Amino acid sequence: PADPAHGAAHGQDHPGHARTPLRRTSVRGQVLEALRTALDSGELEPGRVYSAPALGERYGVSATPVREAMQRLAAEGAVETVPNRGFRVLARTADDAAALAEVLFLIELPVLTRLAATLPALPPELRPLASRTEELARTGDRTGYAEADRAFHTALLGLHGNPQLTRVADALHRRARSPRAGTARSWAEEAAQHATLLDAIERADTATLATVLRGHLGVRG
């Protein structure tokens, strides 16, 4: 049978979806992560409107933490508020993805260039994080891959020592790297570029670093 949470006219969901109860600890954070996973996986579809009460029923919580989570996602640019109805999931256009990629490039390139010039050695945890993205790319787990990709970039940028910069970049990665902002490049190719970036940093090869990062983020031109 059709999924009633996706089902109704005008793209409006309604109660009746099989419930997925959440633990009662840290409910707000759990709802936010559950919604992010549903967005990344495509379970919450671009263009459709979802109400907070119906999503609350799905996750076994009240509408309040759902509204709070959706407001956070609206600030991140993943959804928009539809008065008296709920929240519409926003679709990413190719131009949106390209614009976000350019902003990320302008943030990440100076940071990684500085690391290449000043970092005595790469922390040992970065290579396993890069390998993890390759493993998930091979399995086709797009939600897992998106999270692993963000974890890699967050750990790498975190070496700069500026938590504000890391948080801004992480929010941009959530918007730019979502599967809704699809790319023609295969995940396997993209994941392999993580190791190439680390190699370039270790060699202080800033020319290769810039070239690989541009392609990795999907910067046009």
Q: What is the pLDDT of residues 94-139, one digit of tens each?
A: 888 889 999 999 999 999 999 999 999 999 999 999 999 999 888 8
List pLDDT tens digits, range 8-66. 444 455 444 556 655 544 788 899 989 988 887 778 888 999 999 999 999 999 999 99
What's the pLDDT at 177? 61
Domain count, the chain: 2
Q: Looking at the DSSP assignment, which residues form a beta bridge with residue 79?
A: 89
> What 8-state DSSP symbol labels residue 81?
E
Residues 76 and 106 in one domain: no
pTM summary value:
0.71
Does some domain include residue 1? no
200 and 114 in a common domain: yes
- Say yes or no: 102 and 211 in one domain: yes
Answer yes or no: do 52 and 133 share one domain. Answer: no
SS3 30: helix
C-alpha 102/C-alpha 24 separation (Å) is: 40
What radius of gyration, in Å, describes the C-alpha atoms of the chain? 19
Q: How far apart are CA 141 and CA 149, in angstroms?
A: 12
Q: How far is the C-alpha of 93 from the C-alpha of 221, rounded, in Å?
A: 17
On whether both 50 and 109 belong to a single domain, the answer is no
108 and 79 belong to one structural domain: no
Q: Which amino acid is at 182?
A: G
The answer to whether 183 and 218 are in contact (CB under 8 A) is yes
Residue 142, domain extent: 94-217
Q: How far apart are CA 20 and CA 29, in angstroms?
A: 15
Same domain for 98 and 206:
yes
Chain mean pLDDT for the chain: 84
- The maximal CA–CA distance of the chain, rounded, in angstroms, is 59
Beta bridge pairs of residue 82: 86
Residues 75 and 154 in one domain: no
